[in-house]
Amino acid sequence: MEIKKYPKANLERKWHMRFVFSLVVVVIVFFIVLWFPYGDWTTEIDDNDEPLEEFELNQIKREEQRISLALKQQPKEAAQEIKVVDKLEEINTMELPEEKREQEDENLMLSDSEKEKQKEDPNLFAEADNALDNNPLNFRVVEDLPQFPDGPLALMKWLTDNLKYPASAQRKKIQGKVVVQFIVTADGSITDLKLAKRLEATCDQEAMRVMRMMPKWKPGLQDGKPCRTMVSIPIVFKL
């Protein structure tokens, strides 16, 4: 049986020509894309715009400056926690950052329990009459003032190590200064402890407790001989 084919119905007719034509078109498109000139892309920048990296660096520098400034101020504030004076007259001229707050703290009302503590031990809060007066009878001027063992710096360290901020005063955010007055005898003993200036019951008690624990001082000298000398020490309570 003879097989008959129509040339127009043959699907493989001229297929190789179509393949070559498609390949040529692909190559031409590839070269056009490869050699196509790209345009310059630009962005408008306002004069007020600031680079992000520079902005972040400036922020970091400002933070470092604030931190360094805070670290520099901390030792100064710590040094003002406790101040010791050898002369009673210096108390009137000494200016402290807490002076304004102390005037308000002195007006605080004591609780019933604190009032009862004062009644139980009235001698604990005995005030020196006219302690802050400039009358020379209140302070004996001597040639060599009495000193804490190893000097004033040792006294400040000793007070810092032994003084405890009362918890009740911390809760009430009470701050201020307690001035303790006492006599250094000829043998260096501490006697006649009194409060020349009170702050709050618990703070006053703590100041007196610590001052009673003090070791013997080096006595003051007058005409080369040890003598009794009055000393006043302000103790600052600061949160």
Q: Where are the domains of the chain?
A: 78-237
State both tokens at 134.
Answer: 């400039």
The 10s digit of each residue's pLDDT in 176-186 is 999 999 999 99
Q: What is the pTM of this model?
A: 0.43
User: Between the CA of residue 123 and those of 60, 118, 126, 205, what are the distances in Å?
Assistant: 58, 9, 5, 11
For the chain of 239 residues, list the mean pLDDT of each consecutive stretch of 10.
Answer: 59 72 82 68 52 53 58 46 42 40 45 46 40 38 86 91 92 92 93 93 94 92 90 90
The 10s digit of each residue's pLDDT in 44-78 is 555 555 554 454 555 555 666 665 555 555 444 44
CATH superfamily of domain region 78-237: TonB (3.30.2420.10)
The 10s digit of each residue's pLDDT in 10-26 is 666 667 777 788 888 88
